[in-house]
Amino acid sequence: MERKKGFWHFFTSGYLILVLLFIYLPIVYVVVFSFNESRSMTAFSGFSLKWYESMFNNREMLDSLKYTVLIALIATVTSTVIGTVAAIGLSKARRLIRSVILEINNLPVLNPDIVTAISLMLLFLSLKIRRGIVTLTLAHITFCIPYVILSVLPKLRQLDDNVAEAAMDLGAPPWRALTRVIIPQIYPAIFSGALIAFSMSFDDFVISFFTAGMDVQNISMYVYSMKRFNPSVNALSTLIVVVVTLILILANVVPAIRDRKRKKEEF
């Protein structure tokens, strides 16, 4: 078993490294070329912060980044609240009602983005609603809520019901039972639902493209509208890669440290 394992171990880790290389090739490529002196994406002619400078001077690009983050935050918070409340409501609904609503709920997730985008555009234009930041935010909330529900509802259904009944038996009114017993248990699901919603809103292009109208543009729309290849996008991508890496490290390392600390206290 020992000898064969050696080769197999080498083969599997080699394969995984290849996959990681493929996944991270563009990211590394972009980060490297964001410091390139010349415009070209093929020859690295010298180190310079030229593109970072041009990015920070490019108000249109910065505005679109600002809108992207702003709308992502608003959409995440609103959809998490509505989604969680709806999930709790649905978990107590009759089977038929729940399955019908869930079927509709999954439509924006399974349907191709462009169909959802078109449908929302048609809605706004037919009702003569002027497309702008409001319609864009409403659209984002609409496609974020399903992810929250899909992450919270299963956890809710796993909770054993008589925990809430026990809380009420000990004198807690339904509302208190909800906040004191049910929500703390599904907190991780709410959090992961919010994270998915944030990443979906932050990353969206198609739906924003059709529902944003003239006033506002998010990062994806700005990049899409650039005809000639503009290296300052590399600078922007590097900025986002750094921020995203920080957030993920924060989101994963902090709980790990806390767990290890808590384990130490237990001994």
Restricting to residues 1-20, name those near another protein by CB under 8 A.
Answer: 1, 12-13, 15-16, 19-20
Helix axes 59-91, 133-158, angle to 10 degrees: 40
CA torsion through residues 60, 66, 72, 74, sign: negative
Which residue, 19 or 170, is less far from another protein as judged by CB? 19
Q: Which of 154, 180, 245, 259 binds another protein (CB under 8 A)?
A: 245
Residues within window 159-188 making contact with another protein, judged by CB under 8 A? 161, 164-165, 174, 178, 187-188
Interface with another protein, residue 243, by CB under 8 A: yes
Residues within window 80-99 making contact with another protein, judged by CB under 8 A? 82-83, 85-86, 88-93
- Nearest-angstrom CA–CA distance, 262 and 258: 6
Q: Which of 35, 50, 120, 189 binds another protein (CB under 8 A)?
A: 120
Q: Which of 37, 52, 54, 133 binds another protein (CB under 8 A)?
A: 54
- Nearest-angstrom CA–CA distance, 103 and 151: 15
Which residue, 14 or 264, is less far from another protein as judged by CB? 14
Residue from 209, 190, 186, 188 nearest 198 by CA: 190
Q: Minimal distance in Å, beta carbon 89 to another protein?
A: 3
Beta carbons of 197 and 77 less than 8 angstroms apart? no
- Nearest-angstrom CA–CA distance, 106 and 101: 9
- Nearest-angstrom CA–CA distance, 26 and 106: 32
Q: Cα separations (Å) of 207 from 25, 144, 198, 200?
A: 28, 12, 15, 11
Q: Which of 37, 74, 123, 133 binds another protein (CB under 8 A)?
A: 123
Q: Which of 50, 51, 58, 193 binds another protein (CB under 8 A)?
A: 58
Interface with another protein, residue 49, by CB under 8 A: no
Q: Which of 52, 113, 134, 159 binds another protein (CB under 8 A)?
A: 113
Q: Cα separations (Å) of 131 from 2, 120, 174, 203?
A: 66, 10, 41, 20
Q: Which of 7, 96, 110, 261 binds another protein (CB under 8 A)?
A: 110
- The single residue listed with the structure tokens 């991270």 is 24
Residue count at the site for another protein (CB under 8 A)?
117
Residues within window 221-240 making contact with another protein, judged by CB under 8 A? 223-230, 233-234, 236-237, 240
Q: Within a 10 A sphere around the Cβ of 207, how many other Cβ atoms?
A: 24
Interface with another protein, residue 63, by CB under 8 A: yes
- DSSP state, residue 47: B
Binding mask 184-223 for another protein (x = CB under 8 A): ---xx--x--x----x--xx-xx---x--xxx-x-xx--x
The length of the chain, given as a count of residues: 267
Interface with another protein, residue 107, by CB under 8 A: yes
Q: Which of 21, 40, 158, 259 binds another protein (CB under 8 A)?
A: 40
Phi/psi for 47 (5° steps) reads -85, 135
